[in-house]
Structure 1
Amino acid sequence: MKNKKFDIIIIGGGIMGSSTAYHLLKADSSLKVIVIEKDLSYEKSSTTLSMVNARIQFSLKENVQVSQYAFKILENFEEVMAVDGAKPAIFYRREGNLFLHDKKSEPAAQRAFHMQKELGCAIEWWSPEKIKTNYPIYKNLDNIVGGTFGPQDGHFDAYAVLMGYKAKAKSMGAQFLQDEVVTLITDGDMDGNGACIQGVKTGLGKTFSSSNVVNCTGAWAARLVKTIGIELPVNPVKRQVFAVTPKFKPDCPLPLTVLPSGFYFRTETGGLLLLGKSMEEDPTGFDFTWDQDRFEHLWGELYDFAPVFESLKLIKGWAGLYAVNTLDANAILGQWPTLSGFYLANGFSGHGLQQGPAVGRYITELILNKEPKLDLSIFSPERVLFKKPIFEDGIV
């Protein structure tokens, strides 16, 4: 590659990096943008290993607004991302999310529900009786005082969305390179206010220069920035999903149903049921093995809640990584305070796939000094330096 100087270097070509590349070139087609991704097969990408969900059921206003924007984008994604007449097929299915609440979680859920209504969200509060009426196979509601149902929440093909953004960005002039950034090149005093990003060096020995670099490396984010002395509270945490074929076949698709324990499940095409649960003991590190013993525990929770699923067959399981922000489990977005030109889009803690559209637009606005259409400054990296967390109120 002869020209090694770029207007913007994006490190990481998953949903965040590809969305950002697209939005940059949409805003200014003259920009020279390169996306450096260590594995363009995306075999271990959190984007492609996600169970995939898009929901407005958050308690932090900005997270709700980010999802509202994602809904709008996904509705027209296939048409907007068409390249030379070829449209990505993302199979966007709005089958709903149903969060079940016990007495402990009800107050926070009620606060979030009313806030979402004020923002114009499609959200409903269901009594236990209504839950049973709509889904009579949900038998064990003894400790459930109600549920929040988002009829427009749903899921889609994560790989197709990623490839849609990538193909569109490439058609607009973005370059994608398979290589790994191992060093960030800086100039000035990182402990003062005069440090600037200068570029990156890769594992294949290449150097790329730019005064704007975006870290979109997901679960690997902290490892990269630590090389220049930045301590980012983002850990790679293993999450596991299991796909089963139940003997009982529901008459209609089941929404993503989330129990107070954190156990969740939903139907998938082909007669499958997907199960998962985040646990405190989930290991930190770059481990992609999946544990069949965990499935036995999840099966027990499913059976207790819906005994019709007594008989089922495990088809497959897989593990992916959450980029968990240990400070507050929310995104870290914006320019690092002590390094001019170095932007972060990290720490999404499992919410990143649905936040990709809004994040790509927001990072673009920051780099190009445009007024943000959606103010996401609450997620600024400054709160990491000053240890000022912003928490979701009971719905994570």
Structure 2
Amino acid sequence: MNNQQYDVVFVGGGVMGCAIATNLLLRDPQLNVALVEKDLSYKYSSTVLSDGNSRVQFNVKENIQMSLYALEVLDSFAEDMAVDGEKPEVGFRQQGNLFLTDEAGRTEVAAGLALQQRLGGNVSWLTPSETKAVFPMLNIEAGLFAGTTFGRDDGTMLPQAVLEAYKKKAVSLGAHLLEAEVTAVRHQSNQVTGVQLKNGDVLSAGIVVNSAGGWGTQIAQTCGVELPMEPVMRQVYIIETAVRSQNILPLLLLPSGTYLIHEGHGLFMCGRSFADDPITTTDFSWQRSRFEERLWPELVDFLPSFDSLRVTDGWAGIYAVNTFDGNAILGEWPELRGFYLVNGFSGHGFQQCHAVGRYLAECILGLPPTLDLAIFSPHRILENAPVFENQQKLI
């Protein structure tokens, strides 16, 4: 059995682990950091299987602030993440996000919109007719929605490119990237001491970060920490329609939570979370029939020209759903020193990696936070003080 010594060990080398590691090493280049990823092909990584969307449209102040910071980061991301003169291309496409609301959700949406605008978000309210001018094939005659909020700076990008950029930057700054499986977080006297690997090796460290995504609940259990988090499988579909648009259309979110992302020409990405989505870390199957039976009829109601289409592809990925309040769990677990959590993002983790990377690095180093995200501290779980985003079914 080998024993290697580190200052910080990350359990999970997805976008969160790599973003935090990058921020740590930018602030303290002397740190000895290990990024432990069980599969460097990232075949089942939630980062890679993400739809890559980023939005300002949240109702919790800190979530909005994280999105606004992401826009700042993305503005100079290629230059800041360059390694040996090679700049990453993440394809950030700011086509905007168009969120439809019905009458039942209008009051809550209006409150969220006011907060987004007050914080500097480029978001506005559109009437149904104004919405149709932006998304011409929408059915506004049936009265299916009261209006929309349009986040003009929102958009989509290539999630794997963002992950690879942070990973390469972290490694260039000195992080050790290991392909290995962590079987246990080691601890003694309420203090983390490192991790045990499947091959028997031990990585000793006074700080362990649980950045394992949908597998984070299992990792936490190995050191006696029970997280209110479930790995939920959600399916995504690629559909081809006869619809043609000269421009890339905004992402469209229906009141039910069904979303549609235009990929160009007649191609769209479509998905939705359902209450009966499987809880699993091993099932990555997808079913065409699920789209045909549960999503297609609704799409035709809102977009009559979608009555004829073809499902050309699909996939399934894991959401780390926080069953407590649906928001991130960030920071040191109060009952185990050195055990830091970056878990439970419930579907909006990818877009928050930039702000979370900076914040967790500041927490670990004992620096005052540039953006205080203490509202998402694990303390709230032990104190039964949930932070709910809203009642609307967002991505």
TM-score, length-normalised on structure 1? 0.96
Inter-partner Cα distance in structure 1 for 2:358 and 2:240: 39
Counterpart of 1:241? 236
Report matched runs for 1:220-299 at 5 Å. Answer: 220-269=215-264, 271-286=266-281, 287-296=283-292, 297-299=294-296
1:44-83 residue CA offsets vs partner (Å, 9 max, x unmatched):
0000001111000000000000111111111211111111
Deviates more, 1:76-85 or 1:246-255: 246-255
1:15-55 residue CA offsets vs partner (Å, 9 max, x unmatched):
10000110010001111100001111100000000111100
Counterpart of 1:74? 74
| 2:242–2:266 CA contact under 8 A, matched in 1 | no
1:270-310 residue CA offsets vs partner (Å, 9 max, x unmatched):
64211111111111112211011111031222112111222
1:143 Cα shift?
2.8
Matched AA of 2:246: D
Counterpart of 2:4? 4
1:378 is aligned, of 363, 366, 375, to 375
Matched AA of 1:301: E
1:90-138 residue CA offsets vs partner (Å, 9 max, x unmatched):
1110000011111110000000000111101101100112112222210
Inter-partner Cα distance in structure 1 for 2:138 and 2:246: 13
| 1:109–1:394 CA contact under 8 A, matched in 2 | no
Gaps of 5+ in 2: none
Counterpart of 1:206? 201
Secondary structure of 2:195 counterpart: strand
Counterpart of 2:173? 172
| 1:94–1:155 CA contact under 8 A, matched in 2 | yes
Secondary structure of 2:108 counterpart: helix
Counterpart of 1:84? 84
Inter-partner Cα distance in structure 2 for 1:174 and 1:24: 10
Change (3 A) 1:179 1:269: farther
Matched AA of 1:105: G
Counterpart of 2:160? 159
Report matched runs for 1:64-213 at 5 Å. Answer: 64-140=64-140, 142-188=143-189, 195-213=190-208
Secondary structure of 1:104 counterpart: helix
| 2:2–2:201 CA contact under 8 A, matched in 1 | no
1:331 is aligned, of 328, 331, 351, to 328
1:149 Cα shift?
0.2
Inter-partner Cα distance in structure 1 for 2:198 and 2:39: 12
Matched AA of 1:121: G
Matched AA of 1:256: L
| 1:59–1:394 CA contact under 8 A, matched in 2 | no
Matched AA of 2:270: L
Report matched runs for 1:15-94 at 5 Å. Answer: 15-94=15-94
Secondary structure of 2:243 counterpart: coil
Secondary structure of 1:105 counterpart: helix
TM-score, length-normalised on structure 2? 0.96
